[in-house]
Amino acid sequence: MRVSSWVVTKGGEPMTLAERDETPGEGEVLVEVAGCGVCHTDLGFFYDGVPTRHPLPLTLGHEIAGRVVATGAGAQAWAGKAVVVPAVIPCGTCPACRAGRGGVCPKQVFPGNDVHGGFGSHVRVPARGLCPVPDLADRAKNPAGLALADLSVIADAISTPYQAVVHAGLQAGDLAVFVGAGGVGGFGVQVAAALGAAVVAVDPSKERLELAAAHGAALALEPGPADGKALKAAVRDFAKARGVPTWRWRIFETSGSPQGQATAFSLLAPGAHLGVVGFTPAKVELRLSNLMAFDATARGTWGCLPELYPAVLDLVLSGKVAVTPFLERRPLASVNATFDDLHHRRASKRVVLVP
């Protein structure tokens, strides 16, 4: 099939629209893109020199929802189905996958990194791990009236903080602190609240804090002074008032900024857990011995295992995680202007590009 997509030839230079032929091979499908979200990682590839695993030229975009329009051998059962494409697709058979560590699968496929991504008319991906989407016209299954394009952000912006929450072992009644309440962090706030945590959102943007407070954050805080003492005191008082000991603190760095990472680390307390979800190529100076002194833990999260996607989809379709207030749809043809807006912080919501 002849498909078109916006291709990066050199980082920082305008993407160009190009055509190519795509034929799904064995175990693969061709998905007609309904929508593709723009992630902070895409900006890192484009502006910051973060290398993609597939050499340029390459089409970016890994938050994809669409409909299967062609299949390869062994994948025929997916024909015609609406799907969310996982941002990280493990092979499912290697030792890492068999050990439940698909996030470090050496054969994983990351659209927009290992192969052409979703900023185009179609994307060719492995069928393994696709998340089927029910009939969205059935209001009993889709009471919020979401469009298929809206579900694209499940593939990273919602599923990745969900995986981080699973990694943290978060339970009802725990304290969940999200440093960075935009994009991934805004959805993480909702995921943790839906699971019964007492949630704190930390962000320098009043707009983001107001949105987080309206969707699950019981406390919304601006970062404050560089030393962070006032911030930590406010978090400590919030937890004390709810009877949450420090070993039930789950702190998530979702800003993807050096300041956010330093702030999140500064909030560690005895027995607490730090989940690193945001990405920045910048270095951060930390006193790593805090982990030892507090008997605390820290863990990164790279994507989300495909087997967890159905649970995330249920949270969205049930309305426990709201999507619409956090999204802005734009035409795919605006991709260059959209990247520029996001790079210069002229857009505060998650942008979904629609072909």
pLDDT of residue 11: 94
Burial class (CB in 10 A: 0-12, 13-18, 19+), 204: middle
Mean pLDDT, residues 122-127 taken together:
98
pLDDT at 227 over 70: no
Q: What is the pLDDT of residue 102?
A: 96
Q: Mean of the pLDDT values across residues 96-123?
A: 97
| pLDDT tens readout for residues 148-158 | 999 999 999 99
What pTM, to 2 d.p., does this model score? 0.95
- Considering the domain 159-300, what is its CATH architecture? 3-Layer(aba) Sandwich (3.40)
Evaluated on CA atoms 102, 103, 106, 110, the torsion sign reads: positive
Contact 1, 20 (CB under 8 A): no
- Return the pLDDT at 331: 98
Q: Tell me if residue 107 falls in helix, strand or coil.
A: coil
Average pLDDT, the chain: 96
Residue-level pLDDT at 236? 97
pLDDT (tens digit, 9 = 90+) per residue, 181-191? 988 999 999 99
**Of 5-9, 17-21, 225-229, 310-314, minimum mean pLDDT range:** 225-229
Q: Which residues contact 282 (CB under 8 A, 6 or more apart)?
A: 257, 258
Per-residue pLDDT at 225: 66
DSSP notation for 81-103: -EEEE-SSB--SSSHHHHTT-GG
DSSP β-ladder status, 175-179 and 249-253: parallel
In 3D, which of 62, 143, 54, 179 has the Cα closest to residue 323?
143
Q: Kindly indicate whether the domain formed by 2-155+304-354 is annotated with CATH number 3.90.180.10.
A: yes
Task: Say yes or no: do domains 2-155+304-354 and 159-300 share a fold.
Answer: no
- Angle, to 10 degrees, between the axis of helix 206-214 and the axis of helix 184-194? 20
Query: How does pLDDT run across 272-284, given as a tens digit for each residue?
Result: 999 999 998 899 9
For the chain, what are the domain ranges?
Answer: 2-155+304-354, 159-300
Report whether pLDDT(3) > 90. yes
Does position 226 have pLDDT exceeding 70, yes or no? no
Q: What is the pLDDT of residue 59?
A: 98
